[in-house]
């Protein structure tokens, strides 16, 4: 049975030309007119990449610090001991621990958005890999969440770092700010995100790297993007 489209959503669709591929500037201007929720909606970008992530040499994964921040509060947990644990606390980590934090995760208590670990603690973290992996919060060197510089990692994640990873279908999805941001801030964040994606293009990827792109709000229909422009954002 087809899902019924609400009147609110139908009204928002009238503001979009669904047959058009919008420039980045046009898309940002348009999605800001689609705000309809009672909260500050997230501006979200979705990309369809021409990669097959089943092959390790076509995996697209990394992180980027958005110049205008994400507009949301991020809870950061750190698995470290001794001096590194002290560094994490001083940098503003919300949770710091070792075996105790692993026990909480095993018990289903995951009260954080990002998990950082020092390399020497990854053997311990591996015990909960099956829990963290599907949630997309397993520490990884490519996203800067496995590091000895825990203070910098905490600061980056609290200051606007976005981690991204292509899914099994070749899609990447991320929030790049809030609808309350001005257009210049959203454009700066969008460009920083696309630059990071383009830099991660696998050598094994053939043909047009970005097949489709769209911009939307948490509660809005999406605006199609001009993929040729996206490929030019270096």
Here the CATH number for the domain that contains residue 92 is 3.40.50.790
Q: Is 2 within the bounds of a domain?
A: no
Q: Is 51 within the bounds of a domain?
A: yes
Q: Mark the ranges of the chain whose per-residue pLDDT is less than 70.
A: 1-3
Q: Is 49 within the bounds of a domain?
A: yes
Model pLDDT, residue 145? 95
Of the three residues 158, 188, 208, the one that is the final residue of a domain is: 158
The CATH number of the domain holding residue 60 is 3.30.190.20
Of the three residues 142, 158, 174, the one that is the final residue of a domain is: 158
Model pLDDT, residue 211? 96
Say which residues have a Cβ less than 8 Å from residue 35's Cβ, sequence separation at least 6: 41, 179, 217, 220
Q: Is 194 within the bounds of a domain?
A: yes
For residue 131, CA distances in Å to 127, 138, 157, 198 come to 9, 8, 21, 30
96 in the same domain as 83: yes
Model pLDDT, residue 18? 93
Of the three residues 137, 158, 179, the one that is the final residue of a domain is: 158
132 in the same domain as 96: yes
**Is this structure's pTM higher than 0.85?**
no
Model pLDDT, residue 142? 87
Total residues found in the chain within this entry: 234
Q: Is 31 within the bounds of a domain?
A: yes
225 in the same domain as 167: yes
165 in the same domain as 146: no
Overall domain count for the chain: 2
Say which residues have a Cβ less than 8 Å from residue 46's Cβ, sequence separation at least 6: 171, 172, 173, 213, 214, 215, 216, 222
Model pLDDT, residue 3? 63
Model pLDDT, residue 1? 46
Model pLDDT, residue 5? 77
Q: In which domain, by residue range, is 84 found? A: 76-158
211 in the same domain as 100: no
Model pLDDT, residue 4? 73
d(CA 136, CA 152): 21
98 in the same domain as 40: no
190 in the same domain as 143: no
């Amino acid at each position: 049975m087809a899902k019924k489209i609400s009147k609110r959503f139908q009204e928002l669709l009238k503001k979009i030309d669904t047959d058009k591929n919008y420039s980045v500037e046009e898309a940002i201007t348009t999605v800001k007119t689609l705000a309809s929720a009672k909260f500050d909606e997230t501006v979200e970008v979705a990309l369809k990449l021409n990669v097959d992530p089943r092959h390790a040499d076509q995996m697209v994964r990394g992180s980027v610090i958005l110049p205008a921040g994400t507009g949301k509060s991020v809870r950061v947990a750190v698995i470290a001991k001794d001096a590194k644990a002290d560094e994490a606390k001083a940098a503003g980590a919300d949770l710091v621990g070792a075996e105790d934090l692993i026990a909480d995760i095993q018990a289903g208590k995951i009260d954080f958005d990002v998990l950082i670990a020092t390399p020497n603690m990854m053997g311990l973290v591996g015990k909960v890999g099956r829990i963290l992996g599907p949630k997309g919060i397993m520490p990884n060197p490519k996203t800067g969440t496995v590091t000895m510089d825990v203070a910098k990692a905490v600061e980056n994640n609290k200051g606007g770092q976005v981690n991204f990873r292509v899914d099994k279908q070749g899609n990447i999805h991320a929030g790049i700010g809030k609808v309350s941001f001005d257009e210049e801030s959203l454009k700066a964040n969008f460009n920083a995100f696309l630059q990071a994606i383009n830099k991660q293009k696998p050598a094994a990827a053939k043909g047009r790297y970005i097949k489709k792109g769209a911009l939307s709000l948490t509660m809005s229909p999406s605006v199609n993007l001009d993929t040729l422009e996206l490929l030019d954002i270096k």
